[in-house]
Structure 1
């Protein structure tokens, strides 16, 4: 029976190239600061005057040129309209963010903007000179539509900016959670391994006291490696194999010829990476779950292949009762999920049990863990 685990590659946190430019432009126009407000008023005034004169020419409204008060009032009205919409947008950003209740936010913003437009238009019509032609008033109204379009662009940019910020923040939270999950999973190995090592040491003290001191020294060397790798995401295959030699010694003292552990590794794979303590967990599980005697030894074979994979295979002779915390293999699978989208293959044909794990190059590792 085979089980293939397909994992999703964790993407490193990236900052879009346009982020800084977008942020500067957004802050330069939409900020509540004095400089940004002056810049915004200047842009709106210029657009308002140009639109009024342009529409005046189209509609043949000559009194616009002879009555500066009309243009002044129109520019004031247009700026009030613009600043009111910016203020409405800014206030709603605090009270009803775009990504909180989008439909409600759109409805409220459109309602307030329309109410503000009606109010400004009424004020303009009330304060405008009585002799102002209907065409001049129409020019103002067309100008307000132009400014509303300009405001809509600003608001849409604000929406896009908020959306980008939300994506970045969500990605940061996701990466932080993945990192926390990864470290929590890896930390499960340390007490798990320590518990089993002390169990072996107790056995050695009981059955072979003379070798207990040497065993304790080797156990110290092995656990030192575990502590050194505590905060590491990955380690080289060479380091893992060196660690496995010490670990093999611990079990060889007790099991003797009942354990046959062989390694057949392509030297070109030694600098590739894998999660630390991975090989130890697989070998430990094989020893823990299978009977091993001199006549029926437990054969464990660690090898690598041309696909940059490492295979840990052992023959099966299951113990009738074995206590298991379920940490070992599941931990390896979860750690690989956080590291790569390459497949992990677990194969059990009732005679042999094997786990095939991808070896990773430096350029294949996520930067964010």
Structure 2
């Protein structure tokens, strides 16, 4: 059955501009609204104790109130934007809420302390100062609580919208990858080479023909089993790679050398399925190989949580390639991590580094 793309509501694809967004108009709107709230709070406190809120003769409390409320709101917006990047909602909602509340509380306390330090002595020693301060702080905390709640809801909805779009795009890329992989695996050249090798093994070495057939079956079983997976553990991909390399070595003999050096601490990390198969296949396709000058491919992990695949560079003169397989790996990694795959070339080697993913990623 054909997978139909999920319907994403228009309001989530193109959300309206909010006053918490970046830009001149949102910033000006935010300043006007927050300043008005600050002025109303301090005016209410003056009226509560029977004093006239005279802004012209006594402007300092009003100025400090406006600055404090704006500092509180801008600080919380910056905290929210930073945590959206460093601690996204869907990795751990409870941890995100705890972080945001803690940072918001600490920032609000700093704003309150700085505001009181800016007050002159005659205001600090006033008859109603303590009760007025308690009221202003209470109203300020209520404002911060409501403001943070608005940020929570908006940030959560925006991340939900983003996740809907990215998941749908990832599904489309995955379907394209599945088709490409199956197409590559089932192309006449691969089947011809595999069956030619199998016939030779049956004729000259029947016992190894059984092992070859089992490995061939394992390769196709893995392709079919993992076609719906977004990522797979590295140890599963390496088991599959061993079977895949076995088939090629039976055909190429000593012309192909594959060295695998994987640190145990990374075997439970994840990568997109069939990534290694595509890269190994590309290396074999684009490079010459003989027993006198074998194609050497190395698969190893680095200290910075990368999977590095290098092959000796001995390019064929003419190779027809669309680059679809490699481009698909790049696209999937971009959507999963936001990072680019590192590619480096020297006169003797061609290397690709794939970020290893944690299970939560």
The residue that corresponds to 1:359 in the other structure is: 356
Does 237-246 or 178-187 show the bigger shift?
Answer: 178-187
CA distance in 2, matches of 1:201, 1:292: 18
For residue 279 of structure 2, the aligned residue among 278, 282, 287 is 282
CA distance in 1, matches of 2:163, 2:280: 36
- The number of aligned residues is 203
CA distance in 1, matches of 2:218, 2:330: 26
The residue that corresponds to 1:324 in the other structure is: 321
Q: Are residues 1:200 and 2:200 paired?
A: no
Deviation at 1:253, TM superposition (A): 0.6
Q: Are residues 1:191 and 2:188 paired?
A: no
CA distance in 2, matches of 1:190, 1:316: 27
CA RMSD between the two structures: 2.6
Contact 2:166 2:335 in 1 (8 A): no
Cα 1:170–1:310 change in 2 (3 A) is closer
For residue 313 of structure 1, the aligned residue among 275, 287, 310 is 310
CA distance in 2, matches of 1:164, 1:312: 38
Deviation at 1:202, TM superposition (A): 4.0
Gaps of 5+ in 2: 1-153
The residue that corresponds to 1:216 in the other structure is: 213
Alignment of 1:15-26 (within 5 A): none
For residue 180 of structure 1, the aligned residue among 171, 182, 188 is 171
3-state SS in 2 of match to 1:311: strand
The residue that corresponds to 2:257 in the other structure is: 260
Higher relative contact order (CA 8 A, sep 6+): 1
For residue 269 of structure 1, the aligned residue among 266, 269, 282 is 266
Alignment of 1:92-171 (within 5 A): 171=162
CA distance in 2, matches of 1:223, 1:279: 15
3-state SS in 2 of match to 1:362: coil
State TM-score, norm by structure 2.
0.51
Deviation at 1:297, TM superposition (A): 0.3
3-state SS in 2 of match to 1:300: strand
Where in structure 1 do 4 or more consecutive aligned residues deviate above 6 Å?
Answer: 163-166
Contact 1:259 1:297 in 2 (8 A): yes
Contact 1:298 1:314 in 2 (8 A): yes
CA distance in 2, matches of 1:268, 1:251: 28
Gaps of 5+ in 1: 1-162
Cα 1:208–1:272 change in 2 (3 A) is same
Alignment of 1:30-69 (within 5 A): none
The residue that corresponds to 2:116 in the other structure is: none
Contact 1:222 1:247 in 2 (8 A): yes
Does 330-339 or 170-179 show the bigger shift?
Answer: 170-179
Deviation at 1:344, TM superposition (A): 1.2
State TM-score, norm by structure 1.
0.50
Does 347-356 or 201-210 show the bigger shift?
Answer: 201-210
CA distance in 2, matches of 1:170, 1:215: 48
Deviation at 1:217, TM superposition (A): 2.8
CA distance in 2, matches of 1:265, 1:193: 26
Alignment of 1:222-261 (within 5 A): 222-261=219-258
Contact 1:272 1:359 in 2 (8 A): yes
The residue that corresponds to 2:87 in the other structure is: none
Deviation at 1:205, TM superposition (A): 5.0
How big is each residue's C-alpha offset from its partner over 1:199-248, in whole Å with a ceiling of 9 and x where there is no partner?
42144257655366543331111110111111001011111111111111
Contact 1:185 1:335 in 2 (8 A): no
